Structure 1
């Protein structure tokens, strides 16, 4: 089982109907590919977790990376994991207005850390990114399929 997490900057047109169309298409694709995950959109930033077998995750991310609705797409985590964090969710979605205050702060920390890692990677930043991601993902552990 692979988990890939990426961060990107959404284009201003990614809202309203365009966002709902994207979510519907992504959920349909993910069901067929046995992918689960989470998409968070806060201000102009998107963070997405993709889980599944390696080929499905790789193929999905390649398609996502080419999507014109966002830019500066870069991977902040990609590794083998023992299981899914979002079983039953072809793509859970949370907008900034739906996030708790702590989740907003965690996402801001992730964005800041990703910027430092892109500029000049340091072991302390890699460790910090791991801590920030774990905290954010743990905060979504109560998500249940309805």
Structure 2
């Protein structure tokens, strides 16, 4: 049995692309060590993260995130019991939509990856909608 947890947060300061890549690498190493899998999406100062693993480990990671001074306005979106992981091979899948989004239509690899996310979330329409809403909000405002 596993626990899947989704939250959104806001970065206290704007992060450069290099800072975001460093954060992603830190997450991957820490999550591999803790046997946590999931994904992290970034867009214009906002994060949406989904983590999954052993319940006590996921809760511990989330408590660490809540104490992390780089975040503010942390909001728990969902917590659910899983019989199997949705993203068993992703220690931390990361997408920086400030960088990627303008090129999505030209990048078959990105579309394939997003299709995997959608497929993995088919059994949880609310979580799937949360992720789509996250991706849509700021881009719709800037269009």
Q: TM-score, normalised by structure 1?
A: 0.66
Deviation at 1:7, TM superposition (A): 0.5
CA contact under 8 A between 1:37 and 1:86: conserved in structure 2? Answer: yes
Matched positions, count: 110
Structure 1 unmatched runs, 5+: 102-129, 139-146
Structure 2 unmatched runs, 5+: 106-123, 133-143
Report what 1:74 is aligned to. Answer: 75
Q: TM-score, normalised by structure 2?
A: 0.67
What is the CA–CA distance in structure 2 between the aligned matches of 1:46 and 1:66, rounded to whole Å? 15
Q: Greater shift after overlay, 18-27 or 69-78?
A: 18-27
Deviation at 1:29, TM superposition (A): 1.0
Deviation at 1:135, TM superposition (A): 4.1
- Mapping for residues 94-113 of structure 1, pairs under 5 Å: 94-96=95-97, 97-99=99-101
Report what 1:85 is aligned to. Answer: 86
What secondary structure, in the 3-state scheme, does the structure 2 residue paired with 1:76 have? strand
After superposition, the Cα gap between the structure-2 partners of 1:134 and 1:52, relative to the gap in structure 1 and judged at 3 Å, is same
For the aligned residue pairs, the C-alpha RMSD in angstroms reads: 2.2
CA contact under 8 A between 2:5 and 2:52: conserved in structure 1? Answer: yes
Deviation at 1:136, TM superposition (A): 6.0
What is the CA–CA distance in structure 2 between the aligned matches of 1:137 and 1:85, rounded to whole Å? 14
Deviation at 1:95, TM superposition (A): 1.2
